[in-house]
């Protein structure tokens, strides 16, 4: 099964880190991605730009509206994602627990819904 591991964290925690701590976190994250790729679990992993670079799109009554920033005001923001192949939810949880940013924020693990062609 495929699972999306959403990486949520408070950007203030990153801002408070030294350059050395950030470099170590980046290195640990890339090393973990490499480990997941070598073990056959990794499908794709990407970091996201900060929430201030986001736009939110809505379509209501056929009209498109675009607003700056994320839809919800929260302390934690989606910072990236890792799409993995895992044998079951417990395996996906084990994989998510190894993500270095799990120590600073939270990893939401969600199964991918597979649509069947009719």
pLDDT of 117 reads 79
Quote the CA–CA distance of 51 and 45 in Å, as a whole number.
18
pLDDT tens per residue, range 19-64: 999 999 999 999 999 999 999 999 999 999 988 888 888 999 999 9
pLDDT tens per residue, range 85-105: 999 999 999 999 999 999 999
What is the number of structural domains in the chain? Answer: 1
> What CATH number is associated with residue 46?
3.30.70.1060
For residues 85 and 43, the answer to whether their CB atoms sit within 8 Å is yes
22 lies in some domain: yes
95 lies in some domain: yes
Residue numbers of the domain that contains 104: 2-111
Question: Mean pLDDT score of the chain, rounded to an integer?
Answer: 92
Nearest to 65 by CA among 74, 73, 56: 56
**Structure pTM?**
0.87
């Amino acid at each position: 099964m495929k699972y999306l591991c959403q990486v949520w964290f408070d950007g203030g925690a990153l801002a408070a880190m030294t350059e050395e701590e950030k470099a170590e976190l980046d290195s640990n994250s890339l090393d973990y991605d490499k480990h997941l790729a070598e073990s056959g679990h990794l499908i794709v992993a990407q970091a996201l730009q900060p929430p201030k670079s986001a736009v939110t799109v809505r379509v209501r009554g056929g009209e498109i509206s675009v607003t700056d920033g994320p839809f919800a005001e929260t302390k934690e923001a989606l910072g990236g994602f890792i799409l993995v192949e895992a044998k079951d939810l417990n395996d996906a949880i084990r994989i998510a627990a190894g993500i270095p940013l799990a120590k600073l924020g939270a990893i939401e693990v969600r199964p991918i819904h597979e649509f069947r062609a009719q």
